[in-house]
Chains A and B, each alone.
Chain A
Amino acid sequence: MKNKIIMFWAIVLIAIASIFVICTKPTKLGLDLAGGSRLVLEAQTTKAIPQITDDVMNTLQFSIENRVNKLGVSETVVQRVGENRLMVEIPGETDLQKAKTYIGETAQLEFKKPGTDANGNRIWLDADLTGRDLTKSQLTTDSSGQWVVSLEFNSEGSKKFAELTKALVGQEMAIFFNGDLQSAPRVNEAIYGGHAQITGGGDSGFSMEEAQEMVNLLNAGALPVPAKIVEENTVGATLGSDSIAKSKFAGIIGLGFVMLFMIFMYRAPGVIADIALILYSLMLFALFKAIPVTLTLAGIAGFILSIGMAVDANILIFERMKEELRAGRNLFTAINSGFDRAWTSILDSNMTTIIACLILYYFGSSVVKGFALTLAMGVIISMFSAITITKNFMHLIFGTGELKYPALFGLKKSEIGKAYEATETKRENARFGILD
């Protein structure tokens, strides 16, 4: 009895801690609930980089992260998916068009030299000098007051730039940004020292925004390879809040009916199971917030299924208890053997679910992962709540007493002692507390 009272207070303590966590910590909502965008970028091979290696992907991830951070949105995620893809998550409502151009822009700065193709047409040839040879760029104005992007090369870049300008004295040198010709100034003399400027083409030059964006992109680091958006998923905040409001409403109604059903079917134990169910929901929700687990629609599905399984464990136990009571056992024995015999069913069915969840989590796509994680956590917590909490409360309330009021368990007096009777081994007798 003493152990049971300690256990009771432990359960109370856990419940209080759970409520505390729920009240203080924010819920981390997935993009499908909170609204936001998810983009999947695929690295494209180029002539210079014919194969996407781990190194290339790491650099790509680093520069994409840099750019995403520049958007000024908190909790963005850049994650590597598979061999050559990156998943970018931008929560909240943002200007997606801007985000997309920002992320997708390759920021490839190229210097080119003039030449002719086979037909004698003028074309621009690669000069082996790109944005990768830069250390930084800055927004400044030139002597005539126009916005220009000033560039600073690293040591190798300075050397290359000096050689290129030396070779091109008297000719034009072209500066391409993302494949667009920005300007083609005439080179008057070789430029040493590793500094250069890009002025906009035309009379008016760059607008300030244009120049600033170019500087940002260049400073965020050039993408080592171009990245193409292969998947896009945007959920507006309206749809997200609509989903949350409705799921909440539906969840509460569903849970309410399940609780009524339990009381109707199992009477007094049903009430205890309902309390255990509420504690279970509190604990699981607190755990989601504490870890934190990102809640998505699929995650909510896992959560609902795990509620089903938590109820299932109690239904198994109570059905078993009813059988034992019908067989004429006293209450203490019936409670013990009900729990004990239902245990193998609960263990095997939940273990199978957990195994499946582990595998799905390891192999599945992101939607499946969210589902597997919440379900597995739910199943583990439900084993604790359905068994430890319910059993503890049952013993504390009914003690070792005889079954005086069968109606409390949804049984008729006439049923008692008339039904199936299990045969126990001696060891089981000892465990259930049966005295012959």
Chain B
Amino acid sequence: MTANEITSRNLINIVKYKFVWLCVTAILLLPGTLGLIYGAVKNHSPLKVGIDYTGGTILQYGVQEDIANQELATLRTELAKAGIDNPNIQIIHANAENQKTNVNLKNIISIRTKFISEETNTENKITQVIAKAHPNSELMSVTSVGPTLGKELFKKSSMALIVAILGMVIYLTIRFKFTYALAAILGLCHDTLFVCGVFALLGIFCGVEVDSLFITAILTLIGFSINDTIVTFDRIRENLRYYSKKMSFGEIVNASVNQTLTRSINTSFSTLITLLALYFFGGVTTRDFVLAMIIGVIVGTWSSIFFCTVLVSIWEDKDSKKLAKAKAL
């Protein structure tokens, strides 16, 4: 058998166009990164963060009627009259009539204010204002986070993430090689940056905020993306065992990516099916979370095929060239 046979089914040439792929990756990252920078400069926070991180109170009222847009303005002035500064009001469409749920829920009015401490009567005041406009409304959820707690949560989550990444680097270095581990982690950074970038843009243009579920979405996509990358790396490792004498490193990378291509796409596709079902039929409260995962799964597949392997092929090829030179001397 010849080495050509395993390259015969190649659809994508990773190594030949490696700089093209890197450029495409960079271009794709650009808008989101600009969004993050814009947010950091303008609002001192790259992402529009929710009360989980800034502190504040969100009250959500379930309403059974349709809500006209001009009503928002009325509500705002009513709330201001009741002494609530600068409330942020949002209407979330629950679309309950499409669902097979027994809950007759059409819209959710979400009101965000500064942190309401227990001493004041602010919560009742707001409920009274809403009840005046919508007698059937129901206070569905109250989320309140103290100002200091938010910062701590952010610090803690980031800490957990960094330690988790370190753990993965160590495991991958033991099972593969440090360069592979580094490439895999850079892939994760790419995915995280991309998803954060998209949400920064969504924050700027649609007012989408990230909450503590967002961190979970990032964690999930990291778990997914590392899986994808490792499967490809595993194939490179296996092919190296059999063909390293017959083929160059670049050819092996190419063959491995193409051999695992069907699997990568099929896996992502089957996960996407579940996520799309959750997005269209799942609850409103998790919609942003699912959106983050959908974007994450797509970029995760992209990065493990076009980014991580390209990095490995660049670094490892240099290593093997150096080795060849050293041998020649």
Which A residues are closer than 8 A to B by beta carbons? 40, 42, 82, 96, 100, 104, 228-236, 238-239, 241-243, 245-247, 249-251, 253-255, 257-258, 261-262, 265, 297-298, 301-302, 304-305, 307-309, 311-312, 315-316, 319, 323, 341, 344-345, 348-353, 355-360, 362-365, 367-368, 371-372, 375, 419-423
Q: Which of B6, B100, B146, B293 touches A231 (beta carbons < 8 Å)?
A: B146
* B103 adjacent to A365 (CB under 8 Å): no
In the bound complex, residues from chain B placing their C-beta under 8 Å from that of A302 are 220
Q: Give A236 to B103 CA distance when docked, in angstroms.
A: 12
Q: Give A298 to B259 CA distance when docked, in angstroms.
A: 34
* A367 adjacent to B213 (CB under 8 Å): yes
B307 interfacial contact with A, CB 8 Å: no
Q: Which of A231, A254, A367 touches B149 (beta carbons < 8 Å)?
A: A231
In the bound complex, residues from chain B placing their C-beta under 8 Å from that of A364 are 156-157, 160
* A258 adjacent to B159 (CB under 8 Å): no
Nearest 7 interchain pairs by C-beta: A230-B146, A254-B274, A254-B277, A363-B160, A232-B144, A308-B271, A250-B281
Stretch from B195-203, B221-229, B310-318 forming part of the interface with A: B221-229
B291 interfacial contact with A, CB 8 Å: no
Stretch from B41-49, B81-89, B163-171 forming part of the interface with A: B163-171
Q: Give A25 to B203 CA distance when docked, in angstroms.
A: 43
B322 interfacial contact with A, CB 8 Å: no
Stretch from B21-29, B30-38, B134-142 forming part of the interface with A: B134-142
Known: A234-B142, A319-B263, A368-B160. A420 touches B219 (CB 8 A): no
In the bound complex, residues from chain B placing their C-beta under 8 Å from that of A367 are 212-213, 215-216
* B100 adjacent to A249 (CB under 8 Å): yes
Question: How far is the CB of A212 from the nearest CB of chain B, in Å?
Answer: 22
* B5 adjacent to A308 (CB under 8 Å): no
* A371 adjacent to B163 (CB under 8 Å): no
Q: Give A242 to B223 CA distance when docked, in angstroms.
A: 28
Closest-by-CB residue of B relative to A358 is B167
Q: Give A359 to B220 CA distance when docked, in angstroms.
A: 14
* A363 adjacent to B273 (CB under 8 Å): no
Question: How far is the CB of B242 from the nearest CB of chain A, in Å?
Answer: 5
Q: Give A344 to B232 CA distance when docked, in angstroms.
A: 11
* A365 adjacent to B156 (CB under 8 Å): yes
Closest-by-CB residue of B relative to A346 is B231
Question: How far is the CB of A86 from the nearest CB of chain B, in Å?
Answer: 13
Q: Give A367 to B154 CA distance when docked, in angstroms.
A: 12
9 contacts between A and B (CB under 8 A): A246-B101, A261-B266, A305-B223, A319-B260, A323-B259, A349-B230, A353-B226, A368-B157, A371-B220
